[in-house]
Amino acid sequence: MSIAQNLNKIKESLAKQVTLVAVSKTKPVSDIMQAYHAGQRVFGENKIQDMAEKYEAMPKDIQWHMIGHVQRNKVKYMAGFVSLIHGVDSLKLLEEINKQALKHDRVINCLLQIKIAEEDSKFGITQASAEKILDSEAFSKLNNINITGLMGMATFTDNEAQIKDEFTALNKIFNTLKTKNHPNCNMQTLSMGMSGDYNLAIACGSTMVRVGSRIFGVRS
Ligand SMILES: *Cc1c(COP(=O)(O)O)cnc(C)c1O
């Protein structure tokens, strides 16, 4: 099946409140343009430099999401255009994003990445650390940041029950944080689910899925 057919099939199956981020990492502009011509406007990349190059080369009505781990010294390369940063995991990183956003006179939307997987390889912070950041005096001054939700990745396993438990745990944290009133924070997005588990993620409360190989084919 073509990229457009893959995309349309997934889109048809998604409920209206779920946003599809087409994960185009490692894929060439020509592939991404096929998805663009099929109507897709939200794309996710995991390397800031790659995303910046694709941003330069492609139509400007695309919303670019940074879904990978963010190094502070590279924030400046995306601050002028990034639409949502999924993997935010420290106050220091938020301070750098705020500083760069200010230079562009923008407010940058960010998700806090919560660690739900049991693997050490996955990034993210605990609920307690997230709350500590949101409650801090330093965070309340970051007026060029808007925390719009949470992101998480489940353990890479065939054990569906475990994945379900991890997604359910993240949804619970999301619903807890949603009820609190933090400055620079407007919790509405729960980013969880990838090619292998997005249906399960949606059943567990996801509002944003990040799907790559199901659209663009396997990555080499
Ligand atoms: C690569 C990646 C995805 C998409 O993975 P697929 O299995 O190809 O859908 C989603 N989220 C993050 C954070 C990724 O790095």
CATH number for the domain spanning 130: value is 3.20.20.10
How many domains does the chain fold into? 1
Alpha-carbon span 198 to 202, nearest angstrom: 6
Probe target for ligand 1 pocket from 42, 43, 65, 194, with the most ligand atoms within 8 Å of CB: 194
Two tokens, residue 165 = 């438990």
User: How high is the pLDDT of residue 123?
Assistant: 87
Q: Give the tens place of pLDDT for each residue, 149-194.
A: 999 999 999 999 999 999 999 999 999 999 999 999 999 999 999 9
The verdict on the CB of residue 195 being under 6 Å from ligand 1 is yes
The verdict on the CB of residue 211 being under 6 Å from ligand 1 is yes
Q: Hey, what amino acid is at 211?
A: V
User: How high is the pLDDT of residue 220?
Assistant: 82
pTM for this entry: 0.97
Which structural domain, as residue segments, surrounds residue 139? 3-216
Task: Characterize 100-123 residue by residue with b for buried, 16 or more Cβ atoms within 10 angstroms of its Cβ, and e for exposed.
Answer: bbbeeeeebbbbbbbbbbeeeebb
Q: Whose CA is nearest to atom 6 of ligand 1?
A: 212
